[in-house]
Structure 1
């Protein structure tokens, strides 16, 4: 899913008024501002051929595009570029007088609605947001997923169903499965998230009457059967430190990682990242594993691991091979700030230690 990053916002200025507005915005955000060669000033990048060509390039390299100009022109330029609501960047349009900021594309998952509100606040402008949940002062399932950095199975269809229920005045419950967190200190602070429109559910055995569906925020692999549709929203909180012999097979790593997650009843969608020692940066199976799981592959130096290896059992063979006596445990320790989960798996030259990040 795409979410707006402040350092990855491209602003397109089509008139002198657009340049003046962009300068105001640059005082608040680290923007990359584009304009024609005719209008170019210090701090602005000239279009690569044309506005349309530059916008097409930015569509794949930036998480948000802000056009200071006409909505119709913007629609015509981005129309051939649209692919998917879960990957398209946010697109926001501002009139050159800074009176209206319009969320045009990827309002929820892409973050255009949030960016629209922020830019409108900076400019003292009217935010124009047309998504049904926002118009009705409600949260949305995809908005909650972005805030939680969470995923779910059949995300697109689930969002469509749940959001339609919310705007149709149907009752949708929200249950925070705190017991699914492996760390007792890691309870979700539910008050931090936008849950407008959802009905709080405190127990799966005592549901409020007339619920049409239930959202479960949980890391748990399986949930109990209920009489209403249940949509599981899985925050990415689990990290895996992995050590392995050279040329270990991908299938073995995948099988053992799945085994370790299942041992602690953790949904595979809860995986946030895998990590290892920097000497493993070219280990094909580890790189393939991170790609397969769609998570980052994080690397730590031997010196970083040495600072924490005294906390864990060491192997003389591992120390002679890479310079530190343990890999998976200190890696998981660093990735989770010391919040490890259960015991380390040790099989067939592979070690896997899980942690939970906050």
Structure 2
């Protein structure tokens, strides 16, 4: 569950009471606390210009913002900064006496609801949470996506539609496609996820009567055609180790990666990261691939890869060029902690090895 990275929370204090309350919260969480020059105390940071200007700067730098002050003022300050519910940071408002903690923005994906509950517990305050699924003690599709680190096509509209069905009392099925996990016997962490309100579905061949829609948690690129709206939630689990010649084209890399994913029927949305040897840290095509797939690009040193190269067939040419006899396989091995998928693709000077994280 996304409860906001504790090292990435900014607190804004507007009054002496707010400063005192922030100092109290500092004993529970590592916070970056801002206030005016007039209120400055040791360990706090002065506003960079006005309160509004400082919030604007922090909006893109922190995963959560806490304002100890008025809700109306906070709304006016953050309104011009809003972009998208999947991108905006969590925003929580606390009154200076610490009686109410209000989840104002990004309650689910940003983690504001979870942060609100935590802060209310610390302060013995009233948590104010107004998202419909929480009020009705139901799960939410966007929270399930956060818990699974998952993505889906048209996420914004899908979340809106499914959550509306749930709060309206329409039956929404939930199918865990354990068979889509490449390793035999592997299962999704059902018990660790909030599924309140969803109707469990054991098989796509035997759907319960009257379902309004179905959510499928799966890595599969394609699901069977079903007689109802289907929302596929794809956890980010697939990692990719890549070896390539210098100046390999992006078009070749993306084409071969798509080919390898299709071979094992894996949805491209399942990509979690790509990686290569540190010698490729400045390879343009790999950086372009990372940006295009919206995943991190990780690099590993020769010494790190040498520890695992004995597990795979080596090439003396590759060893002379890079210092290690094989690249993509030990990279994928390290990224997946030994859970590789299928065979390594070797084509046109490119090697691609898939792995799956647990």
Q: Which TM-score tier does this pair reach, normalised by the shorter chain?
A: over 0.9
Distance 1:320 1:280 in 2: 15
**1:334-353 pair list within 5 angstroms:** 334-353=334-353
**Residues 1:212 and 2:212 aligned together:** yes
**1:1-358 pair list within 5 angstroms:** 4-358=4-358
Once structures 1 and 2 are overlaid, which stretch shifts more, 335-344 or 201-210? Answer: 201-210
Distance 2:123 2:337 in 1: 39
Shift of residue 55, structure 1, vs aligned partner: 0.3
> How large is the Cα RMSD of the aligned pairs?
1.0
- The 8 Å contact of residues 344 and 352 in structure 1, kept in 2 or not, is answered as yes
Q: What residue ranges of structure 2 are gaps of 5+ in the alignment?
A: none
Distance 2:28 2:187 in 1: 33
Distance 1:21 1:135 in 2: 27
Q: What residue ranges of structure 1 are gaps of 5+ in the alignment?
A: none
Distance 1:170 1:31 in 2: 42
Distance 1:116 1:191 in 2: 24
Secondary structure of the residue aligned to 1:273 is: strand
- The 8 Å contact of residues 3 and 63 in structure 1, kept in 2 or not, is answered as no
Shift of residue 184, structure 1, vs aligned partner: 2.5
Once structures 1 and 2 are overlaid, which stretch shifts more, 128-137 or 185-194? Answer: 185-194
Secondary structure of the residue aligned to 1:355 is: strand
Distance 1:73 1:327 in 2: 54
Number of residue equivalences: 357
Shift of residue 171, structure 1, vs aligned partner: 0.1
Deviations 1:175-211 (A, max 9, x none): 0000000123531120100111111111111111111
TM-score with structure 1 length normalisation?
0.98
Q: 4+ residue stretches of structure 1 with deviation over 3 A?
A: none
Shift of residue 26, structure 1, vs aligned partner: 1.1
- The 8 Å contact of residues 3 and 115 in structure 2, kept in 1 or not, is answered as no
Distance 1:357 1:232 in 2: 19
